[in-house]
Amino acid sequence: MSAQPRFLVLPGYEGSGPQHWQSHWEAADPAFQRVEQADWDHPRLGEWVDVLDAAVAAQEQPVVLVAHSLGCILVAHWAARRAGAAVAGAFLVAPADIEGAGVAELAGFCPIPLKPLPFPALVVASSDDPWCSLDRSRRFADAWGARLVVAGAHGHLNSASELGDWEYGRELLGRLLD
């Protein structure tokens, strides 16, 4: 990748608080920019896709999507509808298996698209994620044409996982860009 990419940070359901690794990365590096949704607690697929589309279109440099949880599912929906050449890759951490979650606010994101992404992608999963089994993470990675990395037993790889700046995640992001 010749130009420095813009990293668009895509939190999931209920957003990513100040102790989340995504928030740490944003605070440490101005190349990371959060894509702000109007309502983190009551997500609407069409609105979220439109906001992501506008954020990608506004960039002058290549884009790398840095998604967590429902943000990963957003990337799959966006790619199935509107993805363009501006995306250099997607870092998809702890995709949420919302189809069986029983959370009414997430029903509009179902079914989860299982089509190959038109850009390189890396799915990072935890072996004990309560929101997605390892087998289901593997199925997502296979369907999306992504590599899968199992990051160990860290729950949902969120604030509760106490990853802080998550150096291992930064290393994995670097692998995606190589």
At residue 163, the pLDDT reads 72
Question: How is residue 73 written in tokens?
Answer: 């599912």
pLDDT along the chain (178 residues), means of 10: 84 90 93 96 96 95 94 96 83 91 89 96 91 92 96 75 78 91
Is the whole model's pTM more than 0.95, yes or no?
Answer: no
- Domain limits, the chain: 6-177
At residue 125, the pLDDT reads 93
At residue 82, the pLDDT reads 78
At residue 22, the pLDDT reads 92
Fold of 6-177: Rossmann fold (3.40.50)
At residue 156, the pLDDT reads 75
Mean pLDDT of the chain: 90
Give the per-residue SS3 of the chain.
CCCCCEEEEECCCCCCCCCCHHHHHHHHCCCEEECCCCCCCCCCHHHHHHHHHHHHHCCCCCEEEEEECHHHHHHHHHHHHCCCCCEEEEEEECCCCHHHCCCHHHHHHCCCCCCCCCCCEEEEECCCCCCCCHHHHHHHHHHHCCEEEECCCCCCCCHHHCCCCCHHHHHHHHHHHC
At residue 122, the pLDDT reads 96
Tell me the per-residue pLDDT of 27-63, one tens digit each, with 9 for 90 and over.
999 999 999 999 999 999 999 999 999 999 999 999 9
